[in-house]
Every structure is written in structure tokens, then in C-alpha cells.
Amino acid sequence: MALVNKVLVVGGGIGGMCAAILLSRQGITVDLVEANPRWAADGAGITISSQSLRGLREVGVVDEILREGGSWNVVDICDADGHVRTTFPIEPSVGAEDLPGAGGIMRTTLASILGRATHEAGVSVRLGTGFSVLNQDVEGVDVAFTDGTRNRYDLVIGADGVNSAVRKYVKPDFPGPRLTGQGCWRAVVPRLRTNSTMFMGATTKAGLNPISATESYLFVLDKREGLEFIEAKRWPSMLAGLLEEFGGDLGDLRKRLLDGSLENSRVLYRPLAGHMIAGPWHAGRIALLGDAIHATTPHLASGAGIAIEGAIVLAQELTRRRSLEGALIGYAGRHYDRAHLVVSSSGRLGQIEQENGSREEHVQLMTETLRALREPI
Ligand SMILES: Cc1cc2nc3c(=O)[nH]c(=O)nc-3n(C[C@H](O)[C@H](O)[C@H](O)COP(=O)(O)OP(=O)(O)OC[C@H]3O[C@@H](n4cnc5c(N)ncnc54)[C@H](O)[C@@H]3O)c2cc1C
């Protein structure tokens, strides 16, 4: 007998959609509510690491992602003027040797691909809807939705991101995500390079990753304490300021940010926050997934990867185990180490950058973590 027949997923981000698709394919009735009425991710690019690609293949969407996005097998490390100094190969994950080492795509394109797959898997989706109350007893969870409707589920999965509202039912004492002291600047720009490229300035590092045949996204991290509010209209000039020490391609992009010939609406800023919450990751019939329970900074481009892997492990445990409690304990038990590795290593990489610490430690930690993540889940 199935452990659950009817599941509610709260949050239609990367983790929530992957969980909904996988559970629906197992014959479970799945409802998904997404607070955003347009179901639109932010207009930035996202890097899809090799383990994310492996996970997305299991979800059944990797071909479409590779068709619409960009991909690469090496990273070029350049000086501030854009001359290539070293090239690192990016190995694929174990079991995904036929896939590229990494990929990139617009978040909106990724959301559309996963959204289509969610509908095709038979998930019932309601946009612009959240929940107002969850009330559980031993046999189920009563949910009151913000659109005035009610329903009862065997399991509720909170995949509602870093500021999760479901989390208070599982971790009522959690104080909230912690700012890490860095901000992330991103911009969609024309594709100038074939490979993923890192530009090493004396004080700033910047990266360009392909996200389609014609576009890349530029990313820069800077030191930013606190939740300083920065008006969106200042973002392009502030990003240009961060690129001051660069020549070559980045120097040209800098000029274009200042003269307005790059679409300014495609520049985004976000302060970075993170957390790794100890188990259990569920209370009764309410469980947490993705950023709701483990939110990372982007240093290893693996936040989406661990959200996808969490969805895979949760779906597997729900078919393997004999009790729901056992399945939810098994999910956190199997997934905790990999999620912890990403969050803690990413946090340390950010710290090294803020303290202008050892480059050797930075490279070694990144290399070792990425190697571990390529192992099977
Ligand atoms: C600046 C930055 C850059 C990053 N770059 C990368 C990268 O290159 N590669 C990578 O792998 N990872 C990256 N990450 C991490 C990655 O974006 C996240 O780890 C990933 O999106 C987590 O997916 P999720 O489904 O858990 O949460 P989210 O993607 O945040 O999705 C949560 C969803 O829940 C919805 N929601 C929220 N509250 C409710 C509610 N009450 N009811 C209903 N719906 C609700 C939201 O609208 C949203 O759609 C980056 C993160 C940051 C901050």
C-alpha cells in the first residue's frame, strides 16, 4: 500500500516542481500552489552544475534544458584584461558521463520547461495561491488556502524557498536566514565567450557563463554587510563600478552599462543569505525541501542541485519505506550530508573572499567539494 496518496507541494520553484513531477509519476495525486501569479522566476541566468544536470535528467527535462541553454566542459581563468591564463576541465558527474560538465540557462526558461513538465505529469497547479493555515492530526493535514478553499492531504511539502512560511510548522524556533556579508550582482549580456569564464581582478572576481546560443550572464560578488536597500535604478552604475579594474570584454560591458546600451532591466542585485537547519526536516506529515531547509550562497552553483537531489531522495524514500515517518527520516538522513557539504563549503568560500584569505584554500575547497558532489547520491 502506498504511504501517501495525496500530496500538497507549497512552492513552485525548482525543488517544488521536481518533487511534484516525480511524485505524480509514482501515481500520487499532487496539488501544487505557487504564490506568484505569473509563476515567474527572476530574470537572471543560473548555472547548472554537473550534479544538477544529472538530477534534471532523472526528472526528464535535461534534453530540453541543454537545447535551450548553454553548456561547457572547461572553465577559462583569465586575467583582468580577459587573456586566458589557465583552463580547467569540468568533469561530468558519475552516471552522467554523456552530459556536459555544466550548463547555464535563463531562470525564466528553466521555470517554463519545468512548468510544462509539471502540467504534463498531471500535477494540479494553482498560481497566485498560498495557504493560510495548516492543521494536522495523525491521519492527515487540513489546509486552508488563501483563495478560500480547503483540502486535506496525506503529506504537505514546504518547498517555499529561503523565507518559507511552512517552516514555522516544522521548525518554530528557527530565527530566520542569516546574511552572509556578500551581495550578488547579475546581468544578462551578449554571449562573448564559448566557455564559462572567470576574470581575476586584483580585488574582484567576475564570471561569464553562457545561458543560450546568444546570451551569457555576468556575475560578481561583493562585500556587503547588512540588508542595505539599494534602489534598482542604481544597480547598473554600481555594477559598472565593480568592473572598474577590468579591461577587454568586461571593460566593454562596463562602458555599455554606463552608456545604457545594455538593457538595464536585466541587471539584478541580491544580498546573500544562507542556513543549514539540523534534522528532523519534518514534523508529522509536514516536510521541508530545498532552500526552505538548506539555503546556500552561489559559490558552488549547487543550490538548485541540492533542491533537485532532495526531491529525488524524498520521492525514492516514499516508495522504499514502510512508514511515512521512516520515509521522512530516511529522506533527511540520506540528503543531509550532501546539502551540508554545499552550504558549509559555499559559506567558507565566501568567508575567504571577504577576508582576502588564501587562494590555495579557496581552489582546494572548491575542487574537493565539486569532486565529492559528482559522486552518486
Ligand atoms: C543570487 C543567487 C544566485 C544563485 N545562483 C545559483 C546557481 O547559479 N546555480 C544553482 O544551482 N543555484 C543557485 N542559487 C541557489 C538556487 O537559486 C536555490 O537554491 C534554488 O532556487 C532553490 O530552489 P527552491 O525550489 O528550494 O526555492 P525557490 O527557487 O526559491 O522557490 C520557492 C518558490 O516558492 C514560492 N513561494 C514562497 N512562499 C510561498 C507560499 N507561502 N505559498 C506558495 N508559494 C510560495 C516562491 O514564489 C517560489 O516560486 C543562487 C541563489 C542566489 C541567491
Q: What is the mean pLDDT of each run of 10 residues along the chain (377 residues)?
A: 94 98 98 92 91 98 98 96 94 96 96 97 97 98 98 98 98 95 94 94 92 96 83 93 96 93 84 95 98 97 97 97 97 98 97 91 94 95
**170 plus 193 within the same structural domain:** no
pLDDT value for 166: 98
**132 plus 170 within the same structural domain:** yes
Question: Among the three residues 246, 270, 294, which one is the final residue of a domain in this structure?
Answer: 270
Q: Would 81 be classed as within a structural domain?
A: no
Q: Would 251 be classed as within a structural domain?
A: yes
For the CA of 16, the closest atom of ligand 1 is: 25
pLDDT value for 260: 85
pLDDT value for 218: 96
pLDDT value for 373: 97
Centroid of ligand 1 to alpha carbon of 69 (angstroms): 19
Question: Among the three residues 231, 246, 270, which one is the final residue of a domain in this structure?
Answer: 270
Q: Which residues contact 272 (CB under 8 A, 6 or more apart)?
A: 179, 180, 181, 182, 183, 184, 221, 297, 298, 350
Rounded to whole angstroms, the Cα distance separating 186 from 207 reads: 10
pLDDT value for 305: 97
Count of domains forming the chain: 2
**153 plus 209 within the same structural domain:** no
Q: Would 71 be classed as within a structural domain?
A: no
**194 plus 318 within the same structural domain:** no
Q: And the C-alpha cell for 327?
A: 520515509
DSSP bridge pairs for 151: 143
pLDDT value for 42: 80
pLDDT value for 264: 66
Centroid of ligand 1 to alpha carbon of 163 (angstroms): 10
pLDDT value for 187: 95
**17 plus 120 within the same structural domain:** yes
CA proximity to 103, closest of 130, 140, 63, 136: 63
pLDDT value for 203: 85
Residues constituting the chain: 377
**250 plus 136 within the same structural domain:** no
For a substitution probing ligand 1, which of 46, 108, 302 has the most ligand atoms within 8 Å of its CB? 46
**307 plus 368 within the same structural domain:** yes
**37 plus 170 within the same structural domain:** yes
* Domain encompassing residue 340: 6-41+107-176+274-374
Q: Would 169 be classed as within a structural domain?
A: yes
pLDDT value for 39: 81
**279 plus 350 within the same structural domain:** yes
The Cα diameter of the chain in Å comes to 64
| Beta strand extents in the chain (DSSP E only) | 6-10, 29-34, 45-48, 70-72, 74-79, 84-89, 102-106, 124-127, 131-137, 140-145, 150-153, 155-158, 178-190, 196-200, 205-210, 215-223, 267-276, 282-283, 286-288, 294-295
Q: And the C-alpha cell for 262?
A: 545594455
pLDDT value for 265: 67
Integer angstrom CA distances of residue 24 from 19, 53, 120: 8, 21, 10
Rounded to whole angstroms, the Cα distance separating 110 from 113 reads: 5
| 271 within 8 A of 227, measured Cβ to Cβ | yes
Centroid of ligand 1 to alpha carbon of 14 (angstroms): 7
pLDDT value for 226: 73
Q: What is the CATH number of the domain that holds 210?
A: 3.30.9.30
pLDDT value for 262: 82
Q: And the C-alpha cell for 80?
A: 583582468
Q: Which residues contact 228 (CB under 8 A, 6 or more apart)?
A: 271
pLDDT value for 263: 75
**124 plus 35 within the same structural domain:** yes
**335 plus 253 within the same structural domain:** no
The pocket around ligand 1, CB under 6 angstroms, is made up of: 10-16, 33-36, 46-47, 52, 130, 159-161, 165, 184, 270, 272, 290-291, 298, 301-305, 307
